[in-house]
């Protein structure tokens, strides 16, 4: 099983765009990515110099309803 590693927020945004999400849109302390058809909202923390940890990436993968293999192939 492939392992996840922390990502830069910009890398996460690029992967979500491939999955059909638009944005990022401002949303307070986080930016928001919104799916074009389902209107599902994914908040992404944008803290300067900090990567997004594996636990949050796993929860985002579950939220967008894809497998880990599909995520790694993006």
Domains in the chain (CATH in brackets) are: 9-72 (3.30.920.30)
Chain centroid offset of residue 25 CA: 13
pLDDT band at 48 (very low <50, low <70, confident <90, very high): confident
What distance in Å separates the CA atoms of residue 36 and residue 6, rounded to the nearest whole number? 26
pLDDT band at 3 (very low <50, low <70, confident <90, very high): confident
Mean pLDDT of 17-46: 94
Say if residue 62's pLDDT is above 80.
yes
Nearest to 48 by CA among 9, 5, 7: 9
Q: What is the pLDDT of residue 12?
A: 96
Please state the φ and ψ torsions of residue 59, each to the nearest 5 degrees. -70, -35
């Amino acid at each position: 099983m492939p392992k996840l590693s922390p990502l830069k927020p910009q890398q996460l945004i690029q992967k979500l765009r491939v999955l059909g999400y638009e944005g990022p849109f401002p949303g307070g302390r986080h930016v928001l990515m919104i799916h074009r058809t389902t209107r599902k909202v994914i908040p992404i923390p944008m803290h300067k110099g900090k990567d997004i940890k594996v636990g949050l990436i796993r929860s985002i993968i579950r939220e967008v309803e894809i497998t880990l293999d599909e995520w790694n192939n993006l």
